[in-house]
Amino acid sequence: DWTMEDFIQQCIASIRQQVGSAKVIGAVSGGVDSTVAAVLTSRAIGTQFEALLVDNGLLRRDEANQVVHRLRDTCGVQLRYVDASSLFLQLLQGVVDPEEKRKIIGNTFIKVFEKEASASGASFLLQGTLYPDVIESSSHGGPSVTIKTHHNVGGLPDKMNLKLLEPLRELFKDEVRAVGKLLGIPEDSIYRHPFPGPGLAIRILGQVDQHRLEILRHADSIYIEELKSANLYRCISQAFAVLLPVKAVGVMGDTRSYEDVVALRAVETVDYMTAKWYPIPATVLEKISSRIVNEVKGVNRVVYDITSKPPATIEWE
């Protein structure tokens, strides 16, 4: 009987055999796939593996800190934190087109990662590729036009002289979660909603700057905190706040305000190819909305996105 315990033992043995005494490098995001891949590799070869967290300045509130702490201290992975946020934010200055944002962020990530990888002397690249990613990238049944450029699969190894290490390539998401639990990875990582590579840049419609990042981080953290305390976080596949490029009129005491609008998105989906908007109870929405307008300076209106995919996509950009 094949169990996940067996998988872990075999996987560790096979990583050791494949890698020998070479060095492995891999980017981590704190999501379940990269975390499980990193912990397995670190169990197999210890400090021959180095995980890299590239901070692009587009992460959520306190996210970089939490990922560093969780991987290093809780999971015992050798991790290097690379703060490239000023580079990313500088290159994004004045950019409003969503695809252009994606390209800049993707290319900059590759540049930063390549530099770190060549300095590390690694000959293997760890990737948290899952079985569905393998199927998707080898089939020709997908849409014939690019709707959005995703840069979290592929791209990296072609240019670099690194061999690929993909310990999760036979697993489905629920199996990765089961392995993660057995490895003692905290539930915060195991059940974390997916977060796009371009991060908050594609959730700030229009220009991205420090000020707007702070507004969105604050609103998003309130939203997620309230979903967790209402026990809804795990019922929802992905939830996040979006900062709109419009201002709305409001009233504050006896003065008129003219401030930013935040949209809340929540969807239920299995494969992220189609998705249904999730009906958060009105009482919970009410609490989220009043907290956001009361606590986030510069926001005076909150709207709820009730569009499914298709025709909308999950992200707004």
Nearer to ligand XMP among residue 49 and residue 240 (C-beta)? 240
List 272, 277, 284, 291, residue binding ligand XMP (CB under 6 A): 272
List 127, 180, 197, 204, residue binding ligand XMP (CB under 6 A): 197
Q: Does residue 46 have a known ligand-binding role? A: no
Nearer to ligand XMP among residue 43 and residue 102 (C-beta)? 102
**Contact at 8 Å (CB) between 12 and 168?**
no
**From the CB of 303, what's the least distance to ligand XMP, in Å?**
18
Cα four-point dihedral sign 146, 150, 153, 158: positive
Q: Does residue 144 have a known ligand-binding role? A: no
The single residue listed with the structure tokens 């450029």 is: 149
Closest to 200 (Cα-Cα) out of 57, 68, 50: 57
Q: What is the distance between the alpha carbons of residues 235 and 105, in angstroms, rounded to a whole number?
A: 31
Q: Does residue 269 have a known ligand-binding role? A: no
Nearer to ligand XMP among residue 194 and residue 250 (C-beta)? 194
Q: What is the distance between the alpha carbons of residues 37 and 34, in angstroms, rounded to a whole number?
A: 5
Q: Does residue 57 have a known ligand-binding role? A: no
* Total of residues contacting ligand XMP (CB under 6 A): 15
287 near ligand XMP, judged by CB under 6 A: no
Helix (H, G, I), strand (E, B) or coil at 208: coil
Packing angle, helices 98-120 and 85-92, rounded to 10: 150
Q: Does residue 296 have a known ligand-binding role? A: no
DSSP string across 85-144: HHHHHHHHTT---HHHHHHHHHHHHHHHHHHHHHHHT--EEE----HHHHHHHH-S-S-S
Residue 139-178 contact track with ligand XMP, rule CB under 6 A, x = bound: ---------x-xxx--------------------------
> What 8-state DSSP symbol labels residue 275?
B
137 near ligand XMP, judged by CB under 6 A: no
Token pair for 121: 């002397």
Which residues, 70 to 129, sit near ligand XMP by CB under 6 A? Answer: 102
Residue 308's identity, in one-letter code, is S
Q: Does residue 30 have a known ligand-binding role? A: yes
**Could you tell me which residues are beta bridge partners of residue 265?**
240
Nearer to ligand XMP among residue 15 and residue 67 (C-beta)? 67
Nearer to ligand XMP among residue 116 and residue 317 (C-beta)? 317
Which residues, 227 to 256, sit near ligand XMP by CB under 6 A? Answer: 238
List 56, 126, 196, 243, residue binding ligand XMP (CB under 6 A): 196
Token pair for 217: 């981080």
| Residues engaged in binding ligand XMP (CB under 6 A) | 102, 148, 150-152, 194, 196-198, 238, 272, 309, 313-315
Q: Which residues are annotated as part of the binding site?
A: 29-35
